[in-house]
Amino acid sequence: MKITNRRTVLVATALGALLAVTAPGAVAAAPRTTDASAPVAVAAGSVAPAAVAAGSMGAGTAGLGRGGADCRPGTLDPGPLRAAIAGLPSADATSAQVRITTPDGCWTGATGVRDLRAQAPVPPHARFRVGSVTKVFTAALVLQLAAEGRVDLDGQVQGYLPGLLPTDYPTVTVRQLLDHTSGIPSPTRPGDVEWQLAHRYDRWTPEQIVRLGLDNPREFSPGEKQHYTNMGYIVAGLLIEKVTGHSYEAELDRRIARPLGLRDTYAPGDDPRIRGQHAHGYQAVIRGGTTELVDATTWSQTFTPASGDVISSLADLDTFITALFTGRVVPEPQLTEMFTLPQVDDVEGGPARYSAGLTAMRLPTGETLWAKTGSRFGYLAAVASTRDGRFRVEYSITATNAKGEELSATAQAVIGAALGMA
């Protein structure tokens, strides 16, 4: 596909980066599906693809509007994106939901099935696990507290959460939690899919996770380098609870979801289910030489509190990002933290890429796309926006190997479609 303009370069480069999921456990195509209780035989390729459902959801225009339900096609041609997410379910993914906003208009569409048993289409405004997109919400909550004078970004974590870290641990600041420069080590768990499935209903407390992480050596001195992990945000979740006296779930609802009218966004706590209308997620697993799809929808998210557990929808994510980037969630000067990179190298020697809650996708043109991706077993999700909000993308793909090393073919197709729609 020929690249025809500057914005096309922006879309291609940024989406290529944000869809490059890197996690262990890639497996082959999936000819059989199971849930936690019983196997269901489904021959690969025998399921008829569900029709693409797409269209507008209310009035509005691209750019710095209200986001969310405002989605008019305008002069935007959604044909390439329709084609990119057509043909599901497949061995690669069972469904996809995508929303794109450009200066020409807005389009949202879905394809695939709600679940492989019923073969019903993906319901409108289907909820999904957003994975590490949760970090954007958590960063916003901490920055709100900073704006209220209740948290000092340069304040010591040890002062807010006494006893959490060892007494001889070097000083960690709140800002270092948010920009991944704290150096607090992550816990070590078996990485194979079968172990994860066997422990999918385990319940963890944030304090347990921190203690487990501290069994490992410190990665680096706080503020010295950057390494993207969940740990800083798990601690940030504890900080929110200590300062406010309320649970993370309650503060997310009170400070962000309710004020913005986000009907599908919530933190599940220790509830392993997805409440409301949603598409099921599946994980491909090789058993006895045969690849099966295991329903991964019901899964405790207590190992990623405040860092990867939030549930949302496309419209809610768009409303949130639009409000966030226009200063309606976090005021200045705290909002600047979300668009400022620390002046350190990452652990691999490259420049820092992560701000408070977001990832900077730097382009040869000098422009930056601010994005956040997420993956949980059964679910891929992402949000991305230019600083002015004129170009935005949100997606959820129920990929059959969402945490695998290989990039989802459906995600690759979305990249190509975005090229043609820029």
Residue 58 tokens read as 């209310």
Angle between helices 314-325 and 134-147 (to 10 degrees): 30
From the number of C-beta atoms within 10 Å of its C-beta (0-12, 13-18, 19+), residue 99 rates as buried
d(CA 366, CA 363): 5
Indicate the DSSP class of residue 292.
Answer: E
- Determine what percent of the chain falls in helix, strand and coil, rounding each to the nearest 5: 30, 20, 50
Nearest to 110 by CA among 160, 50, 183, 62: 50
**Is the Cβ–Cβ distance between 109 and 78 less than 8 Å?**
yes
Give Cα 414 to chain centroid, integer Å. Answer: 16
**Is the Cβ–Cβ distance between 384 and 18 less than 8 Å?**
yes
Residue 114 tokens read as 């709600």
d(CA 193, CA 391): 36
Q: What is the identity of the amino acid at 150? A: R
Nearest to 88 by CA among 421, 419, 395: 395
**Is the Cβ–Cβ distance between 375 and 127 less than 8 Å?**
no
- Mode of pairing for the β-strands spanning 368-376 and 32-34: unpaired
Among 37, 46, 90, 132, the one annotated catalytic: 132
d(CA 181, CA 358): 14
- Beta bridge pairs of residue 382: 373, 395
312 among known catalytic residues: no
Q: What is the identity of the amino acid at 101? A: T
Task: Provide the annotated active-site residues.
Answer: 132
